């Protein structure tokens, strides 16, 4: 597959892609699930979770930089041979499809609860998926530009709304610091993982990046913005509700911004704005996932374009997204997903590949 | 070729029609009934009968501006609420041992037509419905049979709880859960406890603002400035129930032409345990650091009362341990002004003998009142509405682990000391 020069992304676009792909639907309920284990120290768990994710990314980066001009698919083929390589590549396809299904179902659930009470879930899911697929057919550069337009707006609106939340906060709810068992904090870090996942898409973007030496810098700032945004939300939510009340909530982030009243008349009940905003953040995550799956499949079948594969995965995402019965089951599945599947796909498989590759090279040298 | 294009276009149109009609669950603004106030009472059959009497209907006509020709149909129903003549169900069935309702919910929403240009002058401002029901928020679904509006909780301003209801902890918990769970209800809805029934409160038409919900909401909103009223939004009440099983909810009294928000109800374990009157509430707000303009008027100087208004308040809590016992010290820094004294009295309010006297006396008054309040909360109500337990758990989490097992007893043992420090800063425009 030939990659022409106008399908390459700059380092700023890399940064934007990092933020867009990581900030997804997870943030909607992340404060509640963190509070269940880490209680009022949730902000610490998020910080550590962010650092941990960045460390994992550095590892991935080192692995893919062993041959920066090809994607991870070719690395898998080199390491395990053709058949096993394709098998492992298909695992990645499965991973991104399941991930997309989670995002889709959750955005439908949120929209149904707060915006479209009478619209069936199926219609919400289909419209969302078709809108995502429409843009995902285009190349990585187009998607990066879309994110470039959408991402700053989201960050700015959240920061502005936070100012209006600020006046009713009680920061003593963050006390006492670090009085919980260390094990619970570790568990708390585990629950934040899902909110940070998404950066592994960069395993497959390597050939499209113009300045590979600057990728670390972009990633650092991408993680920084994400962690800061998460910190603002989780600290504000803890200060507003207290850790105990937050555990009982399903959508703490939405509740946090829901009762913002700006000057009595200008904005009252901005929940529709918030839900719409989160549709956009999920949208940016979803389009990147759809495109990544398309790219992987295009590499496996060795085709020139990936746009056919984007549509072919939609039925699977649709069916998968309708499997969980309710929101608590989604969260249960998501925990299993991020603990086992994501650890395998994001950490374990790249590591094994790298080891195998380095052994093989050693064998070749001698 | 042309036919093919036409067919493709037609298919596309049909396809688009599916997805472009996304606004089908929209509701026009005049079709909505914006519920501004909810009143929740414990269902009392005899009380409901009172509202079916001719006396009540007359009062109803008078306050709601019904024209005299308009008469309510006088239908007598049997036990099941069925009219014997027409065999139709017209009223909710009268209670028997089998169907005892839990709540009597009052719903109030404004008449949006009165806002428009073509409103008639004698049109009533708001609508009030009382229905017996088993679920609080679910009353909307019963009312939809008889009201041609989509009832919407998004702009709910106040929820009034009846005096009978708050005696039952189980019912209070049901109400709280319903309010907290419904996603439409804003978290800054104010909760109020009625001195009588919630229905009486909402049935009153205050002179200044006839829509009772807005009236109560605006008074409660002013509470952050004035010292005699406390604002108790839903989120705060829920929070304090979660943290300490206790809460303070402000009180509302009915009148003929007005409603008064004054004092507060103290809850412990979801049960009403007693009232705080306005003076106790002032001190409570001072201790919580919430009051800004508290009006203290029981200081006498040379046979004249000297009213004092606080303008700046800082309340700082500290924990000390003395001889193995925890002691909580409230440091109150209060700044304020004297707004009235005797004309040409010869005394200068801002100068020393008088200023010092006022400050000292006010310190004594506040300390005395605070001690009384703390005694009341500790021994009479035994309700930790000051958030002492919460404070200890934040600052001394190790001590809290020991105390929390029987906090009700331990709370009585904890010393609470209030150290007021009043500073007189201003006296209006003359000395």
| For helices B278-288 and B352-375, angle between their N-to-C axes, nearest 10 degrees | 100
Are B370 and B310 spatial neighbours (Cβ–Cβ below 8 Å)? no
- Residues in A whose CB is inside 8 Å of some CB of B read 113-114, 116-119, 123, 126-127, 130, 172-173, 175-176, 179, 240-242, 244-245, 248, 255, 258-259, 261, 268-269
- Listed in sequence order, the residues at least 6 apart from B117 whose beta carbon sits closer than 8 Å to its beta carbon are none
- Cα separation, B239 vs B180, whole angstroms: 11
pLDDT of residue B22: 54
Side-by-side strand order, sheet with B325-338: B295-296, B308-322, B325-338, B415-426
Residue B132 is predicted with a pLDDT of 81
> How does strand B259-268 pair with strand B271-276?
antiparallel
* Residue A189 placed within a domain: yes
Confidence of residue B297 (pLDDT cuts 50, 70, 90): confident
Q: Which residues of B touch A172 (CB under 8 A)?
A: 391, 394
Segment B128-173, tens digit of pLDDT: 888 888 888 888 888 887 788 888 888 888 999 998 889 989 999 9
Strand partners, B108: B37, B128
Per-residue pLDDT at B324 exceeds 90: no
Residue A153 has phi, psi (to 5 degrees) of: -60, -45
Identify from A35, A245, A263, A271 which residue to disrupt to test chain B contact, counting B C-beta atoms within 10 A and taking the largest count: A245
Query: In this predicted structure, what is the pLDDT of residue B265?
Result: 92
A122-155 as b/e, with b when 16 or more CB fall inside 10 Å?
Answer: ebbbbbbbeebbebbbbbbeebbebbbebbeebb
Residue A266 pLDDT: 64
Looking at the partner chain, which of B24, B186, B243 has a beta carbon nearest the beta carbon of A242? B243
Assess if residue A366 is contained within a domain: no
Name the 3-class secondary structure at A73: helix
pTM (two decimals): 0.83
Overall domain count for chain A: 1
Position B121 scores a pLDDT of 65
- Express each pLDDT in B234-267 by its tens digit: 988 998 898 888 999 999 988 777 888 888 999 9
Of B186, B239, B391, the CB nearest to A269: B186
State the residue range of the domain holding A274: 5-352
Decide: A141 and A9 in contact? Cβ < 8 Å.
Answer: yes
Question: Please, are residues B192 and B159 in contact by the beta-carbon 8 Å criterion?
Answer: yes
DSSP state of B429: B
Q: Is residue A105 part of a domain?
A: yes
A21-36 burial, b at 16+ Cβ within 10 Å, e below that, comes to bbbbbbbbbbbbbbbb
pLDDT at B66: 45
A49: number of Cβ within 10 Å: 25
Q: Mean pLDDT: which of A94-98, B108-112, B413-417 is highest?
A: A94-98
CA dihedral B355, B358, B363, B368 (to 10 degrees): 170
Residue A360 falls inside a structural domain: no
Looking up tokens 């507003």 gives A240
Is the model's pLDDT at A320 over the cut of 90?
yes
Q: Which residues contact A246 (CB under 8 A, 6 or more apart)?
A: A31, A32, A35, A237, A238, A252
Task: Write phi, then psi, for B332 (nearest 5 degrees).
Answer: -105, 120
CB B19 to CB A118 under 8 A? no
Instruction: Output the CA torsion sign for A179, A182, A186, A187.
Output: negative
pLDDT (tens digit per residue) in A180-231: 788 888 888 888 888 888 888 888 888 888 888 888 999 999 999 999 999 9
Task: State chain B's mean pLDDT as an integer.
Answer: 81
User: Which stretches of B184-233 are DSSP H helices?
Assistant: 198-203, 212-222
User: Which of B55, B60, B157, B67 lies closest to B107 in space, CA to CA?
Assistant: B157
Q: Which helix (H) or strand (E) holds A311?
A: helix A307-312
Query: Residue B83: its pLDDT value, please?
Result: 61
Phi, psi of B193 (to 5 degrees): -110, 130
For A176, name the nearest residue in chain B, comparing CA atoms only.
B394
Which member of B235, B242, B397 has the closest CB to residue A176? B397
Nearest to B65 by CA among B130, B131, B112, B125: B125
User: Count of residues for chain A?
Assistant: 366
Q: Please, are residues A64 and A206 in contact by the beta-carbon 8 Å criterion? A: yes
A148: CATH = 1.20.1740.10
For residue A365, is it within any domain?
no
pLDDT of residue B78: 58
- CA A109 – CA A115 distance, rounded (Å): 10
Q: Can you tell me the ipTM of this complex?
A: 0.81
Q: Are the C-beta atoms of B265 and B275 separated by less than 8 Å?
A: yes
- Edge-to-edge strand list for the sheet holding B37-42: B126-133, B103-110, B37-42, B158-161, B190-194, B246-254, B259-268, B271-276
The reply to whether A95 falls in a domain is: yes
Domains of chain B (ranges, CATH numbers): 29-62+78-276 (no CATH), 294-427 (3.30.300.210)
Does A363 map to a domain? no
Residues of A in contact with B19 (CB under 8 A): 126-127, 130
In-domain check, residue A357:
no
H helix or E strand, kind and range, residue A318: helix A314-321
- Rounded Cα distance between A144 and B353, Å, is 75
pLDDT > 70: percent of chain B: 82
Select the residue of A127, A176, A245 nearest B242 (Cβ to Cβ).
A245
Q: Which helix (H) or strand (E) holds B233?
A: none
Instruction: Give the count of alpha carbons within 13 A of A90, CB side only.
Output: 7
What digits encode the pLDDT tens for the residues A139-188?
A: 888 899 888 888 888 888 888 888 888 877 888 888 788 777 888 888 88
b/e map B357-366, b = 16+ CB within 10 Å? bbbebbbebb
pLDDT in tens, B53-74: 565 556 655 655 444 444 444 5
The pLDDT value recorded for residue B24 is 62
Residue B1 clears pLDDT 50, i.e. is over it? yes
| Per-residue pLDDT tens digits for A259-294 | 776 666 666 777 777 888 888 888 999 999 999 999
Cα distance between residue A125 and residue A279, in whole Å: 12
User: What's the full length of chain B, in residues?
Assistant: 431
């Amino acid at each position: 597959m030939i990659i022409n020069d106008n399908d390459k992304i700059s380092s700023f676009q890399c940064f934007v892609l990092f933020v867009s792909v990581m900030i997804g639907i997870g943030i909607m309920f992340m404060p509640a699930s963190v509070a269940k284990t880490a209680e009022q120290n949730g902000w610490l768990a998020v910080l550590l979770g962010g650092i941990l994710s960045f460390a994992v990314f550095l590892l991935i980066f080192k692995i893919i930089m062993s041959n920066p001009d090809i994607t991870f698919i070719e690395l898998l083929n080199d390491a395990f041979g053709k058949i096993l390589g394709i098998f492992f590549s298909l695992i990645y396809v499965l991973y991104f499809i399941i991930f997309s299904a989670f995002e889709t179902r959750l955005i439908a659930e949120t929209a149904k609860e707060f915006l479209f009470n009478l619209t069936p879930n199926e219609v919400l899911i289909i419209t969302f998926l078709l809108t995502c697929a429409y843009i995902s057919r285009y190349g990585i550069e187009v998607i990066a530009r879309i994110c470039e337009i959408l991402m700053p707006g989201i960050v700015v609106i959240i920061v502005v709304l936070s100012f209006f939340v600020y006046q009713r906060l009680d920061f003593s709810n963050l006390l006492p610091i670090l009085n919980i068992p260390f094990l619970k904090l570790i568990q708390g870090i585990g629950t934040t993982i899902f909110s940070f996942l998404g950066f592994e898409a960069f395993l497959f973007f390597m050939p499209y990046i113009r300045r590979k030496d600057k990728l670390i810098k972009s990633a650092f700032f991408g993680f920084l913005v994400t962690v800061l945004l998460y910190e603002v939300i989780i600290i504000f939510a803890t200060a507003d509700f207290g850790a105990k009340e937050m555990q009982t909530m399903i959508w703490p982030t939405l509740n946090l911004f829901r009762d913002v009243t700006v000057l009595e008349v200008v904005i009252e009940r901005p929940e529709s704005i918030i839900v719409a905003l989160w549709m956009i953040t999920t949208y940016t995550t979803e389009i990147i996932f759809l495109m990544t799956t398309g790219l992987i499949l295009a590499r496996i079948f060795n085709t020139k374009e990936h746009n056919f594969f984007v549509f072919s995965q939609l039925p699977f995402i649709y069916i998968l997204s309708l499997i969980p019965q309710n929101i608590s089951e989604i969260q249960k599945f998501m925990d299993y997903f991020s603990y086992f599947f994501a650890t395998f796909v994001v950490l374990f498989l790249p590591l094994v590949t790298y080891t195998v590759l380095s052994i093989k090279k050693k064998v070749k040298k001698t | 070729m042309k036919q093919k294009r036409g067919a493709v276009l037609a298919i596309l149109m049909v396809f688009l029609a599916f997805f472009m009609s996304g606004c089908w669950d929209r509701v026009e603004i005049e079709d909505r009934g914006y519920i501004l106030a909810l009143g929740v009472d414990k269902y009392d059959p005899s009380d409901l009968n009172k509202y079916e009497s001719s006396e009540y209907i007359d009062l109803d006509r008078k306050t709601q501006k019904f024209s005299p020709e308009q008469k309510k149909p006088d239908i007598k129903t049997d036990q099941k609420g069925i009219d014997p003549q027409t065999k139709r169900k017209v009223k909710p069935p009268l209670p028997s041992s089998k169907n005892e309702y839990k709540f009597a919910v009052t719903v109030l929403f404004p008449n949006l037509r009165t806002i428009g240009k073509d409103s008639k002058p004698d049109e009533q401002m708001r609508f009030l419905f009382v229905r017996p029901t088993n679920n609080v928020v679910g009353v909307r679904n019963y009312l939809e049979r008889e009201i041609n509006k989509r009832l919407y909780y998004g702009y709910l301003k106040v929820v009034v709880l009846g005096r009978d209801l708050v005696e039952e902890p189980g019912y209070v918990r049901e109400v709280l859960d319903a309010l907290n769970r419904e996603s439409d209800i804003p978290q800054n809805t104010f909760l109020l406890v009625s001195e009588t029934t919630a229905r009486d409160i909402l049935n009153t038409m205050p002179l200044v603002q006839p829509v009772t919900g807005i009236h109560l909401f605006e008074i409660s909103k002013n509470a952050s400035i004035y010292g005699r009223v406390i604002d108790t939004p839903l989120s705060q009440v829920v929070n304090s129930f979660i943290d300490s099983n206790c809460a303070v909810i402000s009180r509302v009294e009915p009148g003929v032409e007005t409603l008064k928000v004054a004092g507060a109800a103290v809850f412990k374990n979801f049960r009403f345990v007693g009232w705080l009157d306005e003076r106790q509430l002032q001190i409570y707000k001072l201790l919580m650091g919430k009051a800004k303009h508290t009006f203290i008027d029981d200081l006498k100087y040379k046979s004249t009362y000297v009213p004092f208004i606080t303008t700046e308040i800082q309340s700082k809590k500290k924990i000390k341990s003395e001889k193995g016992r925890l002691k909580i010290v409230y440091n109150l820094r209060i700044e304020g002004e004297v707004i009235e004294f005797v004309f040409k009295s010869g005394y200068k309010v801002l100068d020393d003998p008088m200023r010092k006297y006022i400050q000292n006396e006010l310190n004594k008054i506040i300390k005395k009142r605070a001690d009384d309040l703390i005694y009341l909360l500790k021994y009479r109500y035994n309700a930790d509405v000051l958030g002492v337990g919460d404070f200890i758990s934040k600052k001394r989490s190790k001590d809290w682990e020991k105390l929390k097992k029987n906090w009700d007893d331990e709370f009585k043992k904890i010393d609470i000391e209030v150290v007021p420090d009043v500073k007189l800063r201003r006296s209006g425009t003359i000395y």
